[in-house]
Amino acid sequence: MTDPTPEQQMPLPDLTPSERSLRAQQAADARWSKPGARQRQADAITAAGLARHERIVDPDGRAEVLRAVSATRRLTSPERHELNDIVARTQNSLRAELAGKALKASKAARKAADELKAAEAATKKPARAKKAGGARKSRRAK
């Protein structure tokens, strides 16, 4: 495929950076305002993630072959078990990645909280030491 010639390209008006930002925001809002846009995006991301993990656990592409075969005939029991095993390993791989991300986020949050506490402690004035001897006696005579 060749690049479009300058005559085929849409002319870009001279816009300031602020105007370009507004135009981009308008385009983004228009995209996300369409019915089902968010669900389609989420579905595409999920499908891409599962496909990536399937390539990790099934580098030979055996699952694709089994799915193609299942479109033309019924899978045999060993084939069905093999496909189910690949699907289960794919899901486990995805869950392992998400658990790792959750652990990393948890560690980062704990570290940030500890650093905040340390910064607050460093800027806090030390409390005045109380004098020994207990409560003060009243000046009023009884």
pLDDT 10s digits, 66-105 = 999 999 999 999 999 999 999 999 999 999 999 999 999 9
- E strand or H helix that includes residue 67: helix 62-72
pLDDT 10s digits, 8-67 = 666 667 889 999 999 999 999 999 899 999 999 999 999 999 999 999 999 999 999 999
Supply the angle between the helices 37-57 and 77-123 in degrees, to the nearest 10: 110
Q: pLDDT: is 124 or 20 the higher one?
A: 20
* pLDDT at 4 > cutoff 70: no
User: What mean pLDDT is predicted for residues 110-114?
Assistant: 96
Main-chain phi, psi angles of 110, to 5 degrees: -65, -40
Check: CB of residue 58 under 8 Å from CB of residue 90. yes
Report the predicted TM-score, pTM, of the whole model to 2 decimal places.
Answer: 0.59
